Chains A and B, each alone.
Chain A
Amino acid sequence: MSDLTVMRTHKLFIGGAFVRSESGRTFVLNSAKGTFVANVALASRKDARDAVLSARSAFEKWSGATAYNRGQVLYRVAEIMQGRKDQFVEELILMGSSKRDATKEVEQAIDQWVWYAGWSDKLAMVNGSANPVAGNFFNFSVPEPTGIVAIIPTVTPSLYALVDSVAAAIVSGNSSIVIAAKKSSLVALSLAECLATSDVPPGVVNILTGDAAEIAPWLASHSDVNAIDLSGISKKDLLIELEKAAAENLKRVLRPDKNLPQGLNRINLWLETKTVWHPRGY
C-alpha cells in the first residue's frame, strides 16, 4: 500500500458548488515555512458577480425561513466543524499558528456558531418593539435583514474572523459573499466544506479566495449588494476607494477598527427596522 497523500483541489465556493475561477487563474499557497501547499483558485471579477447572483437568489428563501430553522442550521455548522476540528487546527498550524493558539481559535470559532445560532429567534424580541404611538393605532417594529452583505474579514485571526463576520450576517437572514485572504484560504475552503454539508442553503454563503484589492471594488460598486464589511481592509487608500464606491447605492458599511462591534451590535449592522402601522377600531 502506498501512503501517498491525496491532495485537495482548492476551489471557490459559489452557489453551494465548488468551482474553479472562471478566469482559470490560481495562486501558489505556501506554508509559513515556505513549503508548497496548494494551487488555490484566484477569484476574478466574474466570480464576484456570479457570487452576487447566487447570493441574491438565495436571499428570499433564507430570509423567509423561520428563525428556529436558521438557528438550527447555524448550530449544525458548529456540529460539522467540531467533527473536523483537528483538520482546522492543522491548517492553522501550517500557516504559522502555535498549536495552542490554533486549538483555541478553532474552539472559539465553533463556539461562535453556537452563540450566533441562539440569537436567531431572539433578535426580533430584543430589537423589535410595540410602539405606543399617540393615536388609535397598533404600531410595531421588527428587524429584517438588509440583503446581501459583502465581507472582507480581518486576516488574523483568520478562521475566527471568517466565522464571526459570516455568522453575524447570515443569522438574521442576509446572504453573503466573503473574500478570504490568500493566507486564510485553507481554513476558508474547509469552512466552505462544512457549510456545504450542513444544511446552509446554496448561495447563502459564497467564499472567494484571492486578493481583496482586486475583487472588493467590484463588490463595493455592485448595485445589488446592500452592505459591505470592510473590517479586513488595512490600506487606507483602498479603504477610501471602497467606501466611495459603496456610497453609490448607499451600502451599509463597517469600517476597519481595532474595536470592531461585537455581539448584538455586530448582528445589528446588517439589519433594517421595519415599522408597521394599523388603525384600531370596530
Chain B
Amino acid sequence: MVFQYAPAPESTKIVKIDSSYGLFINGKFVKSKDGSQYKTINPATEEVLSEITLAGKKDVDLAVKAARSAYQKWSKLPGSVRGKYLYRIARILQERSREFAVLETINNGKPIRESRDVDMPLVAAHFFHYAGWADKLEHAGLGPKPQSLGVAAQIIPWNFPMLMLSWKIAPALAAGNTVVLKPAETTPLTALLFAEVCQQADLPPGVVNIITGAGETGAALVNHPNIDKVAFTGSTEVGRLIASSVAGTKKKVTLELGGKAANIVFDDAALDQAVEGIVNGIFFNQGHVCCAGSRLLVQESIKDEFLDLLYERVQTLRLGDPLDKNTDVGAINSAAQLAKIQELTQSGEQEGADRWSLKCDLPEKGFWFAPTVFTNVTQAHRIAREEIFGPVLSVLTFRTPQEAIEKANNTPFGLSAGIWTEKGSRILEVANNLRAGVVWANTFNKFDPTSPFGGYKESGYGREGGRVGLAAYLKSENKK
C-alpha cells in the first residue's frame, strides 16, 4: 500500500508582518527621504505581503552617515563588549528562530524544513562564532594589532536571506566595523525583522543600518564615497560591475559570486549515498544555491545504473507549499528567476540535450519549476556552462579521474565541487586538483561558521567563515 501524506502546514500565526516598512537607520525605522515604495510578495502564492521602501540616494547617504558616526565609538569599544552584543543577538535569534524561519519561507519560497532546520540554526551559530572572535582578533593571523576598516556596505542575495545577513554582519561587527546592509529586493522581510533584534539587543544606534531597495540602491551604496568596504554576495555579472566601480578608490572588496559546481561520482562510490548527495546538491533550496552541484559528472561505466537510481529518488520529491513540513521543493523565488530558468532549460533542449522532468502537479499560483535532469549534455551546452540557479541538473560522463578533473575545472567559476568514491587516496588527490574553494567529499552542501567558504576564479574573492573570514574586515599593521 502507498502511504499518502496529509497536509502538515506550519502555522503562520507566529509571524506579524506590517503593512509597510521604512528604513532602519541609526537604530530607528524612518521614512524614506527620496525613495519610493514597492510590494513584496510570497512567491508561492503571489500574495502581497507588505509595502517596502525602495531607498533613494539621500536615504543611502543618511545610512552611511549613521554608520560613520556610530563607527567612532563602536570601533573603540573593547572587543569583549562588542562580543557580548553579538552573543545577545545570537541568543535572540535562537529565541525567535521559528518566527524567522516562517517569515523566511513566506517571503522566499523555500521549504520550512530548510529554513527551520538549516538556515536559522546556522544563522545563530554564525553570530556565536564571531562573537567569540571579537576579543581575540590579534590571534587571527593578520599581525599583532589588526584594525577595523570602517563602514562596510553589504549587499546580499535572496536565496539565503538571513544566512547571508549573518555571514556579512557577524564578522564585520566583531572586527569593529559598522554596516549598511541591503537585503535583496525580493526578500527584505527577515532583514527588517533582524532590525528589531538589534533593538532588543540594545545595539548602539547606527552600528547596523538596513536599507531596502533594488539594484540602483545597491549601486548608490557601493559608489558612496564614504564607505571603506564592499561585501557582496550575488551574481558574477553584478560582482564584475562592483569590482569595476571601485577602481581607483581605496575601498576593500570581497565578492562571493556564481558557480557551476561539478559533482563527480566514481564507479566505486556508495551509490545510494551518492544519489542522496546529488539530489541534495541540486534540489536543496530549489537549486537557488551558488555552490549547487549543477553538473553531475558520472563515470561512464555506471551511468545507466546511477541515473536509474537518481530518477527513482527524484520521483519521491514532494513539490508544493513551502510551509508544509513535508515539502522538499518549494517555490522559485520570483517570476524573473523562473523566466531565467525556463530560458536556459529551453536552450538545453534546443542545443540537443535530453530533458527529463519530475511529473508532478504545479500549484496554479506562484512560481514553480519541476526538478529537471538533462542527459546527453556536452561541455559546450549553455546548461553546462552557465549558472541556472534553479532545480536543473546537467549530466556529463567521464572515463578516467584525469578527465573528470579536467571537465570539472573547465569553467570560469570555482566555488565548489563534490567527489563520491570510497577510495581515500582518490578523494585527496582529486580534491587537490580541483580549482574550487569548497570541496565536499561523500557529502554536499554542508555549511558551518568555522568552515571557510568562497571561490576561486570568477566565483569571487575573499572567504567567509572561520578565522580567514575575519581578514575581509580587518587590516593589519604592515610588519614583516
List residues of A whose CB falls within 8 A of some B CB. 115, 126-127, 129, 131-135, 137, 139, 141, 146-147, 223, 226, 236, 239-240, 243-244, 246-250, 252-253, 255, 259-265, 268, 272-279
Contacts and interface: CB of A to CB of B under 8 A. Distances in A.
Interface string B436-461: 11111111001010111110111111
A275 B457 contact: no
8 contacts: A129-B466, A133-B448, A137-B446, A246-B243, A247-B241, A277-B439, A277-B441, A278-B443
Nearest to A132: B450
Nearest to A255: B250
B480 A263 contact: yes
B448 A134 contact: yes
Contacts of A247: 240-241, 243-244, 247
B236 interface: yes
A217 to B, nearest CB: 13
Nearest to A277: B440
B142 interface: yes
A135 B446 contact: yes
A94 B457 CA distance: 42
B117 to A, nearest CB: 13
A275 B244 CA distance: 28
Of the candidates B248, B255, B467, B479, the one having the most CB atoms from chain A within 10 angstroms of its own CB is B248
B478 A275 contact: no
Interface residues of B, number: 49
Interface of B: 125, 141-143, 236, 239-241, 243-244, 246-248, 250, 255, 257, 412, 427, 431, 436-443, 446, 448, 450-454, 456-461, 463, 466-468, 471, 476, 478-480
Nearest to A257: B250
Contacts of A250: 236, 239-240, 243, 255, 257, 457-461
Given A278-B441, A279-B442, A141 B244 contact: no
Contacts of B142: 265
B480 A239 contact: no
A129 B436 CA distance: 17
Contacts of B441: 276-278
Counting chain A CB atoms within 10 Å of each CB, the highest count among B246, B247, B480 belongs to B247
A243 B446 CA distance: 34
Given A131-B448, A246-B243, A273 B468 contact: yes
B452 A248 contact: no
B171 to A, nearest CB: 14
Contacts of B453: 275
Given A129-B467, A137-B443, A273-B452, 10 more contacts: A127-B141, A133-B451, A134-B450, A243-B248, A247-B241, A264-B141, A265-B476, A268-B471, A272-B437, A279-B443
Contacts of B240: 247-248, 250
Contacts of B246: 243
A131 B466 contact: yes
B452 A275 contact: yes
